[in-house]
């Protein structure tokens, strides 16, 4: 499993759509892509997972191009409560291992 | 379900002391893992387990031991605490590989300070 690379920080305003990109050039065939949200003094919380193409759930969308070397988390209409650190660790399905990178600190302003 | 529970929430140790961080889950998950998170950093994998009796090393295993005698429990032992082990420790669990559900459930963390 390889570490992923993300922008260190991003700013947005309430009501905007936010797209956070993640680079994983060395992703292996068996790796899957996950995104987690972490608030201060809490453990990370799962947001979404995907292997290829697009995945959507009730809180976010995940876009993965055909080469799988990057992924984009899309948060529609963010609010102040979305201010957090977002991680995109790669995971190995047969072990449950996750390898985290630095994460992106998203600051949502009123 | 309580989910993933960790005890203690806070701990202060002196250099050279040993202790065990407890982790338990009540979701019948096969996989469990331990991570540490230093200030301003991402999480780093210490040890993980794919089932009772099976453990393996992660990115930063030195100074830590684990065992998994039951599906529910996955304790982390610090053998001889060092200041470099000051960190927040998170335990996580997840379903096994079948079914395509890979999300991990994290506990609330243990804040450890070694003086």
Q: Is the pLDDT reported for residue A11 higher than 80? A: yes
Query: Which of B79, B81, B104 lies closest to B94, judged by CA?
Result: B104
Please state, rounded to an integer, the average pLDDT across all residues of chain B.
94
Q: From CA B45, how far away is CA B37, in angstroms rounded?
A: 9
Q: State chain A's mean pLDDT as an integer.
A: 93
Residue B100 has pLDDT above 70, yes or no: no
Give yes or no for a contact between B75 and B54, defined as CB atoms under 8 angstroms apart. no
- In this prediction, residues A74-90 reach a mean pLDDT of 96
- Nearest CB to A97 within list B30, B45, B109: B45
Does B25 contact chain A (CB < 8 Å)? no
Judging contacts by C-beta atoms under 8 Å, the chain A residues touching residue B109 are 41-43
The reply to whether B106 touches chain A by the CB within 8 Å rule is yes
Residue B99, pLDDT score: 59
Would you say B2 and B26 are in contact if contact means Cβ atoms under 8 Å apart? yes
Q: Which two tokens stand for residue B61?
A: 């295993």
| Residues of chain B positioned with their CB less than 8 A from the CB of A99 | 45, 59
Is the pLDDT at B97 greater than 70? The verdict is no
pLDDT in tens, B37-84: 998 889 999 999 999 999 999 999 999 999 999 999 999 999 999 999
Per-residue pLDDT reduced to its tens digit, A47-70: 999 998 899 999 999 999 999 999
Over residues B87-95, the mean pLDDT reads 95
Task: Name the percent of chain A lying above pLDDT 90.
Answer: 77
Q: Does pLDDT of B112 surpass 80?
A: yes
Average pLDDT over residues B94-111: 83
For residues B3 and B24, give the distance between their C-alpha atoms in angstroms, rounded to a whole number: 8
Helices (H), B1-115: none
| Closest alpha carbon to A97 in B22, B43, B89 | B43
CB A24 within 8 A of CB A88: yes
Does pLDDT of A93 surpass 90? no
């Amino acid at each position: 499993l390889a570490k992923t690379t993300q922008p260190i920080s991003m700013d947005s305003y309430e009501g905007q759509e936010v797209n956070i990109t993640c680079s994983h050039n060395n992703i292996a065939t068996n790796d899957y892509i996950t995104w987690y949200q972490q608030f201060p003094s809490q453990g990370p919380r799962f947001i979404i997972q995907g292997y290829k193409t697009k995945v959507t759930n009730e809180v976010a969308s995940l876009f993965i191009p055909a080469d799988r070397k990057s992924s984009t988390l899309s948060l529609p209409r963010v609010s102040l409560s979305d201010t957090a650190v977002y991680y995109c660790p790669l995971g190995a399905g047969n072990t449950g291992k996750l390898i985290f990178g630095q994460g992106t600190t998203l600051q949502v302003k009123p | 379900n309580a989910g993933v529970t960790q005890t203690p929430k806070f701990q202060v140790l002196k250099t050279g002391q040993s202790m065990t961080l407890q982790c338990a889950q009540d979701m019948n998950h096969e996989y469990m893992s331990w991570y540490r998170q230093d200030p301003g950093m991402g999480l780093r994998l210490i040890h993980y387990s794919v089932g009772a009796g099976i453990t393996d090393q992660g990115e930063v295993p030195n100074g830590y031991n684990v065992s998994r005698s039951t599906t529910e429990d996955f304790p982390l032992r610090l053998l001889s605490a060092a200041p470099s082990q000051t960190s927040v420790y998170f335990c996580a669990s997840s379903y096994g590989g079948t079914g395509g559900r890979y999300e991990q459930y994290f506990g609330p963390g243990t804040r450890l300070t070694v003086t």
